[in-house]
């Protein structure tokens, strides 16, 4: 059993090539008893973005706050609080924040995807 609060979890900067102004909090994963999966909370500051990339694993996303752009399927899709997305493995994607507020979303991936 594991109970915490995202406010208590330290954010780490995302230092991947092509990422800008992105932080990540690992909320729940194998270390908490959830074997094989990881739930992370990403925050993208205004003007920031994740890299445009692909990988073999799928992921599920849920937008918590702010507005952003999810590049997926060859087009830019506006996402806002309550938006959900399933990104299949091998699909090129990117999250971008073009607003003046932070853009925060949950991302669930298989354990191998939490690099």
Q: What percent of the chain has pLDDT over 90?
A: 98
CB contact burial 63-89 (16+ within 10 A = b; e otherwise): bbebbbbbbbeeeeeebeeebebebee
User: Looking at the domain assignment, is residue 22 inside a domain?
Assistant: yes
For the whole model, what pTM was predicted?
0.95
User: Looking at the domain assignment, is residue 26 inside a domain?
Assistant: yes
Digit-coded pLDDT (tens) for 58-94:
999 999 999 999 999 999 999 999 999 999 999 999 9
User: Looking at the domain assignment, is residue 38 inside a domain?
Assistant: yes
User: Looking at the domain assignment, is residue 113 inside a domain?
Assistant: no
Domain residues for the domain of 91 are 12-105
String of DSSP letters for 43-91:
EEEEEEEPPPB--SS-EEEEEEES-EEEEETTEEEEE-TT-EEEE-TT-
Q: Rounded distance, CA 19 to CA 35, Å?
A: 28
User: Looking at the domain assignment, is residue 61 inside a domain?
Assistant: yes
Q: Are 53 and 92 in contact (CB under 8 A)?
A: yes
Domain count, the chain: 1
Digit-coded pLDDT (tens) for 53-62:
999 999 999 9
User: Looking at the domain assignment, is residue 78 inside a domain?
Assistant: yes
């Amino acid at each position: 059993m594991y109970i915490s609060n995202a406010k208590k979890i330290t954010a780490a900067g995302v230092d991947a090539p092509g990422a800008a102004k992105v932080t990540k909090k690992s909320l729940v994963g194998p270390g908490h008893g959830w074997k094989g999966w990881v739930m992370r909370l990403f925050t993208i500051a205004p003007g920031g973005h994740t890299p445009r990339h692909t990988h073999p694993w799928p992921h599920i996303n849920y937008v918590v706050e702010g507005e952003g752009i999810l590049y997926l399927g060859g087009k830019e899709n506006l996402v806002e609080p309550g938006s959900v997305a399933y990104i299949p493995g091998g699909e090129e994607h990117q999250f971008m924040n073009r607003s003046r507020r932070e853009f925060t979303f949950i991302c669930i991936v298989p354990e191998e995807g939490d690099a």
